[in-house]
Structure 1
Amino acid sequence: MHQLNTIPLKKLPSKEERHKLFGSVPPGEKKKPTEKNEMADLQNVKRDFLFDLDVVGVSNVKYPVRVLSGQAPFEQTTVGTFTFSSSIPANSKGTNMSRFMELLEQYHQGGFTVSIDELKQFAKDLAVKLEQTDATVSVSFPWFYERKAPQTYAAGLNHAEASVSVRYSKYEDYQITVSLNVQITTLCPCSKEISEYSAHNQRGNVTVETELEPSFSNTDGDWKGILLEAAESNASARLHPILKRPDEKMVTEAAYENPRFVEDMVRLIAADLYELPAVMKFHVACRNEESIHMHDAIASVTYDKRNRQG
């Protein structure tokens, strides 16, 4: 057997000496107060600071949340990415950032459910805690929903990116904005028209954003499912996690029977949203990842029912 050459271990200085080597120094003399009531509170200084601020707060806050759904799985846990904010007047130096996180942890301990009603209460509680007249809470999260194959009914989970924002104001109605990013299939009408044998199709990315009536609540339905249906029902075909051959035949034939340009998609979805009484304003965008081009095709429409004539 070959004898391994052994290298003697290097003798290292102690951890304290190593820290000194890399710049650590002993603590200096402590002269400032250590009790909270004796510490300066710069954020609460009242003076003329020149301008009111529209938004002050924290963003990119990740926390576990509970999501209720109108379709299976009816209850799920996921990770919410939050933004919390309020406005502040010109005579306020700033806000107390820790209060945003304190309230979030308080709600988390009680089991935070991302629903319109709970977010309304959270925004109101936040304004009170901040001693301001308004507050906004926004959260985005992946939402999962069951999708069954059209003939074999093989089930799996699809997902969409959901987000909701609720603004509370002491002097105005709630402002509620919800959005969903959904993937669908589109088949090119032009390709179908000119080709002898087939038509090219592609995956489309649809973003639906709506402003809801201030009185909208959980009892009015699952907004995620409402927006999902508006997007998917107007596509050439829906996406499925599991497809057997009989299912694939049905899906591809359905796409061929329902060709859609991106322009068609946004107009058809807009029509569905226009007919929903709870929707006050909407923005619909579609981006097709073209299968025969290196570029994408895009279209969008924005409409505010409050500005309509007649």
Structure 2
Amino acid sequence: MNLKLPSKQERHKLFGSVQPGEKLKPAIKDEMVDLQSQKNDFLFNIDSVGISNVKIPVTINSFIEPVKQGTIAAFTLTSSIPGNQKGTNMSRFIEQLEEYRLRGFTMEQEQLYQFVSDLSARLGQKNVRVEVEFPWFYERKGPSSELSGLNHATVRMTVQQDSDKNYKISGELSCAVTTLCPCSKEISEYSAHNQRGIVKISVDPTVLSEDWKEQLLYAAESNASACIHPLLKRTDEKIVTETAYENPRFVEDMVRLVAADLYEKEWINGFTVECRNEESIHLHDAIATLTYKKKIKVEQPDIKKSGWCHLVNKFSAIDFFYEIFF
């Protein structure tokens, strides 16, 4: 049976559409009332107001393949406003972001500093904060086959400009590793349960090292039982599982070992390390957190850039390293 439908106009009317009314208010911007810019005693200063979860394409430079990559970043842009100002002009945040998108926005410290400075001038506010989060991809090869695929870590960068136009930057990286349970290995006749561990490292730097993402990834992976791989053949899987068995790790072990690596880095003033194991024999997760603020400077060792993923460490019987070119 064929339906006899009313016209589209009649259908819209059926569902509540009405004819436009008389337009009496100004349509020219300069003649419109700007409520947000009104001055009065509005009781309190506001620490931050702005927009969040704004996604745009950005560029990331990396010291490991792929060395130049495009990804999608989620931005949170805020500023403070004084108690005598009603609000902020939200559109200005997007205008600033769009200008940088069109010229090519690269997720590096200096460009983020310039972005914050320009946003501060556009808003007419001194305290401005930009937070950006994005997936960062890196190539990972199988230890035997050397067949490669892409892993990714989640990276977050935050830049704050204060009223004296001083900048403060922080960095965070979250990645997946393999952890094998030391207790299970100790009490079992054979085998041991393992799980995927999520390591999150947050750093308070003097200045973000150019290869800061790679350094934090190395700190997490080199202290794990084994690395996560996108592609494994049987010969690779044998090495990975045996290496994990040779390097058991509790979540407590992970945060302490990663903290030791971070402590040795001269450009890091303080840090927080979190590890969450998605337990394979429990419904719950196991978690540990360690926060440390340096009080004295320490010597930074010469980091060798040849051995990246310590599927094997000094306790492992297997002597192999990944070739990584910075």
Count of matched residue pairs = 297
**Aligned counterpart for 1:103 among listed residues 96, 100, 117:** 96
Are residues 173 and 306 of structure 1, via their aligned partners in 2, closer, same or farther at CA, if it must alter by over 3 Å? farther
With structure 2 as the length reference, what TM-score do the two structures score?
A: 0.87
Could you tell me which of 141, 157, 165 is aligned with 1:164?
A: 157
Q: Secondary structure of 1:99's partner?
A: helix
Give aligned-pair identity as a percent: 59
2:238 matched to 1:249? yes
Instruction: Please say which structure displays the higher CA radius of gyration.
Output: 1
2:273 is aligned to 284
Q: CA RMSD in A?
A: 1.5
Matched, 1:69 2:58: no
SS at match of 1:33: coil
Query: Normalized against structure 1, the TM-score is what?
Result: 0.92
Shift of 1:307: 9.3
Listed as ranges, the gaps of 5+ residues in structure 1 are 1-6
- Which residue of the partner structure matches residue 318 of structure 2? none
Query: Which one-letter code corresponds to 1:257 in the other structure?
Result: E
Matches within 5 A, 1:1-310: 7=1, 9-171=2-164, 173-213=166-206, 216=207, 220-306=209-295
Q: CA deviation at 1:172?
A: 5.3
Contact kept? 1:146, 1:155, Cα under 8 Å = yes
Matched-pair contact (CA < 8 Å) for 1:83–1:137: yes
Measured after TM superposition, the shift of residue 102 of structure 1 is 0.5
Q: Deviation of residue 173 (structure 1)? A: 2.9
Q: Deviations over 1:60-87 (max 9, x none)?
A: 1011111111100001111111110011
Measure the CA separation in 2 of the matches of 1:128 and 1:187. Answer: 52
Paired with 1:58 and 1:307, the residues of 2 have a C-alpha distance of 38
Task: Select between 159-168 and 299-308 the one with higher mean Cα deviation.
Answer: 299-308
- The match for 1:3 is none
Question: Does the Cα contact within 8 Å between 2:138 and 2:151 map onto a contact in 1?
Answer: yes
Alpha-carbon shift at residue 279 of structure 1 (Å)? 1.3
* 8 Å Cα contact 1:47-1:92 kept in structure 2: yes
1:113-168 per-residue CA deviation (whole Å, 9 max, x = no partner) reads 11111111101110111000121111111111001111221111111111111112
Specify the code of the residue in structure 2 equivalent to 1:141.
F
Is contact 1:140-1:162 (8 Å) kept?
yes
Give the residue type in structure 2 aligned to 1:185.
Answer: T
Does the 8 A contact of 2:203 with 2:271 survive in 1? yes
Given that residues 126 and 165 in structure 2 are in contact (C-alpha distance below 8 angstroms), is that contact kept between their aligned partners in structure 1? no
Distance in 1 separating the partners of 2:95 and 2:252: 46
State the alpha-carbon separation in 1 of the partners of residues 80 and 88 from structure 2.
Answer: 9
- Report how far residue 306 of structure 1 moved: 4.9
Q: Which runs of 4+ in 1 moved over 3 A?
A: none
Determine the C-alpha separation between the residues in 2 that align with 1:254 and 1:76. Answer: 31
Matched residues in 2 for 1:212 and 1:294: separation? 37
Work out the CA distance in 2 between the residues paired with 1:58 and 1:108.
16
Letter in 1 for 2:264: E
Query: In structure 2, what is the Cα distance between the partners aligned to 1:124 and 1:275?
Result: 32
* Separation in structure 1 between the aligned mates of residue 293 and residue 129 of structure 2, nearest angstrom: 22
Shift of residue 196 of structure 1? 1.9
Greater alpha carbon shift after TM alignment, 148-157 vs 264-273: 148-157
Task: In structure 1, give the amino acid aligned to 2:292.
Answer: Y
Distance 1:118 1:160 in 2: 21
Structure 1 residues 306 and 20, CA gap change in structure 2 (3 angstroms)? farther
- 8 Å Cα contact 1:287-1:299 kept in structure 2: yes
Distance 2:166 2:291 in 1: 22
